[in-house]
Copies of this chain bind each other. A is one copy, B any other.
């Protein structure tokens, strides 16, 4: 037992111990490895069936090990949201990465170019002429071309250029000696969590129709995009029908979360992927009837999508609420009393930003701690 020990060291002596999961120091991020492996295989089979490539978004898991599992199952490579994430996964040996957020500052571009020099296959995105000029100049100076996807705005206005305005920027990129025009990116984030399957389908296909029309215009102008990258877990089974995207940027399917489970909770629907990610928490105080306090609050769950759902460990019907920075609360009824030391497992409200709070995953199978994986991309938002 140590002094200033790392998250890795905190629980590693439990690896292989029968029942070790129940003894984890908590709050701890736990992966059900069987469910994770099933999800990775199911998405790979789906993509194969529809003849579309997979470039899963590592902004969800931020982990070298999970990226390797996805690539072993057939993914081309991965996406990273930020340059820092890409640096971390590249350092772990991931050879092919698309950075999906624009890199625009001089110092950021210098880091991007340095990463490009060391990587087999790096791609970046760009949505304006000024930045394209800077990227071109920096890449030319480095002596290695930088692959670029022009980022297209599917109507949400977050990043990208609107399809009707994109052609001059595509031409500029294609004519820049330092840049290699590789295609287009178009991520319709606004439709991923629509809970009506019909509306989700219509909105996604509509965004892709615009993108398809742009592709056709570019083709006619001699600027055919090789890659069209986009899509998410919420539209994984809708987007291939449009026959516009060449690759899917699905992220959350590896873990699922309360928010995505809710997308498929309507009558007749069932989430197409299993929940594989949990926060394990421990009751630390239980002096009142029907109320227990746990060790996981605002610092252990992202709170943008409400409180977590209890998966097991508490009486049926119990509800989890945030009880401040450090603690959660559980309201419950019935004969069984929760007591200090009781272990409660939760489905996270929103997986990506919750993962971002932890240094390691605890991979379990049947209650046994099998492995601890670093979350190399955690906190690499810059």
Contact = CB atoms under 8 A, between A and B. Distances in A.
A164 to B, nearest CB: 12
Interface string A138-182: 000000000000010100011111100100000000000000000
B300 A302 contact: no
A202 to B, nearest CB: 22
B381 A88 contact: no
Contact of A293 (B159, B296, B298, B325): B159
Q: How large is the interface on A (under 10, 10 to 19, 20 to 34, 35 or more residues)?
A: 35 or more
A340 B115 CA distance: 21
A169 B125 CA distance: 62
Q: Main SS of chain A's interface residues? A: loop
A16 B358 CA distance: 32
A323 B3 contact: no
Interface in A117-146: 118, 127-128, 130-131
B114 A3 contact: yes
A71 B162 CA distance: 55
A118 B5 CA distance: 14
Contacts of A353: 298-299, 325
Interface string A220-231: 000000000000
A108 interface: yes
Interface in A269-292: 282-288, 291
B287 A81 contact: no
Interface in A322-350: 322-327, 329, 339-341, 350
A87 interface: yes
A239 interface: no
A322 B304 contact: yes
Contacts of A352: 298-299, 325
A379 interface: yes
Contact of A284 (B10, B104, B293): B104
A298 B287 contact: no
Interface stretch (A23-31, A36-44, A206-214): A23-31
A268 interface: no
A303 B299 CA distance: 11
Given A4-B92, A326-B381, A353-B299, A340 B102 contact: yes
A108 B158 CA distance: 45
A203 interface: no
A61 interface: no
A35 interface: no
B295 A326 contact: no
B325 A284 contact: no
Interface in A343-382: 350, 352-353, 356-359, 376, 378-382
Given A127-B285, A284-B104, A382 B295 contact: yes
A284 B101 contact: yes
A141 to B, nearest CB: 13
Interface in A70-89: 81-82, 84, 87-88
B2 A87 contact: yes
Given A25-B107, A104-B284, A157-B287, 12 more contacts: A1-B110, A1-B114, A4-B376, A5-B87, A10-B382, A23-B107, A25-B108, A59-B325, A103-B284, A299-B356, A299-B381, A302-B303
9 contacts: A1-B110, A4-B376, A25-B107, A27-B382, A81-B325, A105-B282, A299-B381, A303-B303, A357-B379
